[in-house]
Structure 1
Amino acid sequence: MRMAKTLQQRLDQANCDYDIIPHPHSATSLESARTAGVPAERVAKSVMLDDRHGNFIMAVLPANRHLDMTEVRMTGAWQLTRESNLPSLFGDCERGAIPALGDAYNIPMLLDRSLTRQGDVYLEAGDHDHLIHMSMEQYLKLVPHAEVRELS
């Protein structure tokens, strides 16, 4: 698989300019950055959260940062989602390779301010072997409803 179908449709729908960056198989966003030879602060890592009542939110931050749950909980009673719950939300993605594009999956997003300061961004493509590369300006147009705040 090169790219999740939902992601591909969203990028095509928005007439996005992007590149597909192949890289050796990786297990994490930080490892994807390393194997692809791109700066980790430009790789968008998705962390899924839920409120124990069936509502989900996607926190997006640079691959080299850790999510500050204190900051996240200021928006509600969120907890890390069990990986076993994710296939139903991201059926076209490999486990652990969720694209940082919650809008494409109708999932609200929190976006770390530090990521938005980058000139460009890399997203998981839905598998463990490809990244999507685009300008930050293009990415922000794809996630117009994301709440930008300090998360890490």
Structure 2
Amino acid sequence: MHMAQTLERSLRRAHCQFKLVEHMPSATSLESARKAGIPASRMAKSVILDDRRGHYLMAVLPANRQLDLNKVHKGTQRWQLSGEQALAALFKDCERGAVPALGEVYGLDMLIDPMLVRQQDIYLEAGDHESLVHMPVDEFFKLAPNAEVCDLCA
């Protein structure tokens, strides 16, 4: 198991309660939930957006839902899905496609769908394709205190 250094350092600094959950290798957050045997509604999926001008935003939603870009409002920017090159540069300590749903620890603004906030606990990618971080929602918000909660799903 491997946890991204930035994530691990942030969890420890904030004295967050969490558990690392191992699972068979997976390619997506939805597949990670299936392989770990957890409800997809409690798996936080991150979607990275950009405004074509160098500003990035992380949208966080349940793994079993799809992002509705028309619902993403942060300032006056128009947002689009970010490319793989941008993700590699932003999340240097993560494997491609295994971005933790805690953008603030990487310097990104965050939007979180209320479906996740209503859960008692959530799971998120740990930075690789074989492990998840499991934590109570209130612990999650210790690392995302400035996140905006808004409807993001189609």
Residue of structure 2 equivalent to 1:122: 123
The correspondence of residues 86-97 of structure 1 with structure 2, limited to 5 A, is 86-97=87-98
- Provide TM-score, normalisation by structure 1: 0.97
Note the alpha carbon deviations across 1:24-46, whole angstroms, 9 max, x for none: 00000000000000010000000
User: Which runs of no fewer than 5 residues in structure 1 stay unpaired?
Assistant: none
The aligned counterpart of 2:8 is 8
Q: Match for residue 56 of structure 2?
A: 56
Q: Percent identity?
A: 56
Kept in 1, the 8 Å contact 2:16–2:142? The answer is no
* Cα distance in structure 1, aligned partners of 2:142 and 2:86: 28
TM-score, normalised to structure 2, is 0.96
Partner-residue secondary structure (3-state), 1:131: strand
- The Cα RMSD (Å) is 1.0
Counterpart CA distance in 2 for 1:61 and 1:41 is: 9
Which secondary structure does the structure 2 equivalent of 1:127 belong to?
Answer: coil
- Describe the SS at the equivalent of 1:94: coil
1:67-98 Cα shifts (integer Å, max 9, x gaps): 01110147530000011211110000000000
Specify the alignment match of 2:31 in structure 1.
31
1:84 aligned counterpart, secondary structure: helix
Determine the structure 1 residue equivalent to 2:72. 72
Q: Secondary structure at the match of 2:59?
A: strand
Partner secondary structure for residue 88 of structure 1:
helix
2:102 matched residue in structure 1 = 101
2:67 is aligned with what amino acid?
L
Deviation at 1:142, TM superposition (A): 1.5
Q: Which runs of 5+ in 2 are unaligned?
A: none
Give me the whole-angstrom Cα distance separating, in 2, the residues matched to 1:88 and 1:44: 21
The count of residues paired between Structure 1 and Structure 2 equals: 152
After the TM superposition, which of the residue ranges 22-31 and 84-93 deviates more from structure 2? 84-93
More divergent stretch after superposition (24-33 vs 68-77): 68-77
Deviation at 1:107, TM superposition (A): 0.5
Tell me the secondary structure at the aligned position of residue 34 of structure 2.
helix
Q: Which amino acid aligns with 2:150?
A: R
Give the C-alpha shift of residue 151 in structure 1.
0.2
SS of aligned partner of 2:35 = helix
Q: Distance in 2 between matches of 1:74 and 1:57?
A: 8
- Hey, which bits of structure 1, 4+ residues long, moved more than 3 A? none
Residue number in structure 2 paired with 1:17: 17
